[in-house]
Amino acid sequence: MATILIVDDDPALRDGLAETVTDLGHTPLPAASGTEALARLQDSPVAAVLLDLRMPGDLDGLSTLERICGLPDRPPVTVLTAFASPANTIEAMRLGAHDHLTKPVGRADLAAAIEAMLRTVRTEEAAPPAQSGHPVLVGSSEGMRRVQKTIGLVADTDSTVLVQGETGTGKEEVARALHAYSRRRARPFVPVNCAAVPGDLLESELFGHVRGAFGGAAADRAGAFHLAEGGTLFLDEIGDMPAAMQAKILRVIQDCVVTPLGGRPGRVDVRLVAATHRDLPALVAEGRFRADLYYRLNVVPIALPPLRERLADIVPLAEHFLLRSGKRLSRGAASRLLAHDWPGNVRELRNVVERAGVLVRGGMIAADDLGLPSDRPDRRPGEAPPPDWLSGDLPGAVARLERTMIAAALREADGNRARAARRLGIQRQLLYAKIERYGLGAPGVGLSADTTADVGNPDASEAPDAG
């Protein structure tokens, strides 16, 4: 049972709402004006508020709402009005209303509104405080651990780094981390998106120009290489760089000398980090990217895994993106995030959770608040739905993850168990046992008829498995 403050200047409507609130098992607390409502809030604990929009006196509904939302421990407020308009709806939600309903409000709608407000109160009380600190690159999955270790090993060197990964995986964040942890951190970090600058302007963007070098060059302009002097130059989407610029960039990397358009050559001290979502070896084979430039860039390669391969990182990333909003994920929301394929990778995840953080009034985000499908639209007929990763006990969750990883490894190895075992980092005999335990050897799973024909015995020299 909860105490519901009902604020309405019409006695008949106020009494009707109070009767319904009582029938729903709660205690109504009536107030005939905004001033009386604020006094009631000072005197009695209130779980939620039903507030009329149009009231006479100094405090109308919106003014009362603003005062209530300014209280330290404010209860959620649903605004009721018979005169809904785009303006007062937007203003009520902007000021902090939990919801905005049009009179007359049916019993079912009123019950749903009260339950939603009370659910908000319960989840806010149950939610643990948000963590304040966070690493530069969020993630504890094996793929991200490899990335973090590589950053640590090469950050203080001047070696050129090539970051490769799908769109939205966070390639610029890797470049920024390389700079932040290097001895060059006090000098500039200069990013240039090679795909966003027209080809005829890219040379000036990178190398600069002197006054009169071309029509419209009214003054000297420093290029990105000079702006990054002593620091780090990040060339994003270098796979989209025109062929003519590829040759000039190659010469700069080799000689550390930059020549502005119309100017004289000069040495630069810049650490170069390049990134692309394209398959550069394939572009080299097609003659669309210079092989010599690829080898110059690929001194230290860093491959960023897509988010769908970073299951352990999805929820920590989502919570990191929600830090500013102070919102938390419900268990159902976390499961919905884990079930999604994330074609847009980390960028898509950030957009989804930040949108939910803005639009959800309460402190807890539910699965339906994310706007993600509960099932993949491209799921094949007969394909099993995604597991609810966070349901049940810990052994059950570990078993679900283990089965999923083994099935994925078998698919990637075309059913070859020895290759799958190496991919998983376990002995082949242990894999056989787990295949039998999880029923993955049944017809249709994709195991090859000869599972070890193309490999030797990788377990012959290994110690017996302890697991």
pLDDT digits (tens, 9 = 90+) for 274-333: 999 999 999 999 999 999 999 999 999 999 999 988 888 898 899 899 988 888 898 889
- Per the CB < 8 A criterion, the answer to whether 417 and 428 are in contact is yes
pLDDT of residue 125: 58
What is the rounded CA–CA span in Å between residue 283 and residue 333? 40
Omega before 198 within 30 of 0, i.e. cis: no
Measure the CA angle with vertex 49, ends 99 and 74; round to 5°: 90
Rounded to 5 degrees, φ, ψ at 43 are: -95, -30
In the chain, where are the structural domains located?
3-126, 157-303, 311-370, 392-467
Q: What rounded mean pLDDT belongs to the chain?
A: 84
User: What class, spelled out in words, does domain 3-126 have in CATH?
Assistant: alpha beta
Higher pLDDT, residue 76 or 125: 76
Q: Which residues contact 335 (CB under 8 A, 6 or more apart)?
A: 367, 388, 389, 390, 391
Lowest-pLDDT range of 74-83, 202-211, 257-266, 369-378: 369-378
In CATH, what is the architecture of 157-303? 3-Layer(aba) Sandwich (3.40)
pLDDT digits (tens, 9 = 90+) for 128-165: 444 433 334 788 788 888 888 899 889 989 999 999 99
CATH number of this structure's domain 311-370, picked from the four choices 1.10.8.60, 1.20.1250.30, 2.40.50.140, 3.30.310.50: 1.10.8.60
- The string over 349-365, giving b where at least 16 C-beta atoms fall within 10 Å of a residue's C-beta and e elsewhere, is bbebbbebbeebbbbbb
Say what percent of the chain tops pLDDT 90.
44
In CATH, what is the architecture of 392-467? Orthogonal Bundle (1.10)
Q: Any long-range contacts for 105-109 (C-beta under 8 Å, 24+ apart)?
A: 105/80, 107/20, 107/23
Say what percent of the chain tops pLDDT 70.
87
Q: And the tokens for 27?
A: 């205690």
pLDDT digits (tens, 9 = 90+) for 174-216: 999 999 889 999 999 999 999 999 887 898 899 988 887 777 7
pLDDT digits (tens, 9 = 90+) for 416-431: 888 888 888 788 888 8
- Per the CB < 8 A criterion, the answer to whether 314 and 349 are in contact is yes
Q: Any long-range contacts for 328-332 (C-beta under 8 Å, 24+ apart)?
A: 328/123, 328/127, 328/128, 328/130, 328/363, 328/364, 328/365, 329/353, 329/364, 329/365, 330/123, 330/364, 330/365, 330/366, 330/367, 331/390, 331/391, 332/366, 332/367
Assess whether pLDDT exceeds 80 at residue 170. yes
pLDDT of residue 257: 92
pLDDT digits (tens, 9 = 90+) for 26-52: 999 999 999 999 999 998 899 999 999
Assess whether pLDDT exceeds 60 at residue 55. yes
pLDDT digits (tens, 9 = 90+) for 394-411: 676 777 778 888 888 888
pTM of the model: 0.65
Assess whether pLDDT exceeds 80 at residue 461. no
Cα-Cα-Cα-Cα dihedral sign, residues 25, 31, 33, 36 = negative
The reply to whether 3-126 and 157-303 are identical in fold is yes
- Per the CB < 8 A criterion, the answer to whether 431 and 417 are in contact is yes
pLDDT of residue 161: 96
pLDDT of residue 375: 58
